[in-house]
Structure 1
């Protein structure tokens, strides 16, 4: 069985995520149409007010879906914070997800994302 392919869309103007029923990209990978419960189909021009985040196909220790742009925290086997926070991203050159220890998701947790919780990454 293959990995489930789905996306969430961050709307910069509304400052919220939606889970589109339909979206279309142009040849440059820009979002040109989005249809969900917040907006209708757009006119086909690139929409710079939305950001696409792909589902990794995996879930964290709390059964939370992990998306591109999520902020992760790792714990050791005793439940103590194990490492600094990381951001889930896709490495185009290596064609792989970064920012999560995929072999040990029982110790990884989504604690926010770069859009709603950028303060988590401030030093």
Structure 2
């Protein structure tokens, strides 16, 4: 099932080959180039900000002191997939409730280790 993209929002893209994030994609023609490239993972802005005012994108890792979560498009909106003890709990919470107490600590591409259990 494909979702429809509206270009009143921002996107970023992770280049798997070069291991670099491309920020600020707001132009349809730029986006179209990335969308069909298998080395590119396109991530949409949620339109929300964390407790420090930083814009939240798909793939961001949030920390709210009790657990970490990963921002995903799930069902028909953005959610926070909860990780506890280094493992996914397969629980999703509405992202709007998570942002009040959470801060972005990284993303799944550059910082996957943040989801692991720390000693």
Asked whether the 8 Å contact 1:90–1:96 carries over to 2, the reply is: yes
Structure 1 unpaired stretches of 5+ = 25-32, 35-43, 75-80
Q: 1:116, CA displacement in angstroms? A: 0.4
Rg: which structure is higher?
1
Distance 1:59 1:6 in 2: 13
Distance 1:113 1:104 in 2: 16
Deviations 1:32-53 (A, max 9, x none): x14xxxxxxxxx9x31111001
Asked whether the 8 Å contact 2:78–2:95 carries over to 1, the reply is: no
Establish whether residue 114 from structure 1 lines up as the match of residue 108 from structure 2.
Answer: yes
Asked whether the 8 Å contact 2:62–2:69 carries over to 1, the reply is: yes
Aligned to 1:89: 72
Deviations 1:11-65 (A, max 9, x none): 11221111234211xxxxxxxx14xxxxxxxxx9x31111001000000111111
- Written as runs of structure 1 = structure 2, the 5 A alignment for 1:33-52 is 33-34=33-34, 46-52=36-42
Aligned to 2:87: none
Q: 1:5, CA displacement in angstroms? A: 0.9
- Alignment counterpart, residue 63 of structure 1, candidates 45, 48, 53: 53
List 4+ stretches of structure 1 deviating above 6 A: none
Which structure has the highest helix share of the two?
2
Aligned pair count? 94
Distance 2:99 2:114 in 1: 20
Tell me the C-alpha RMSD between the 2 structures.
2.2
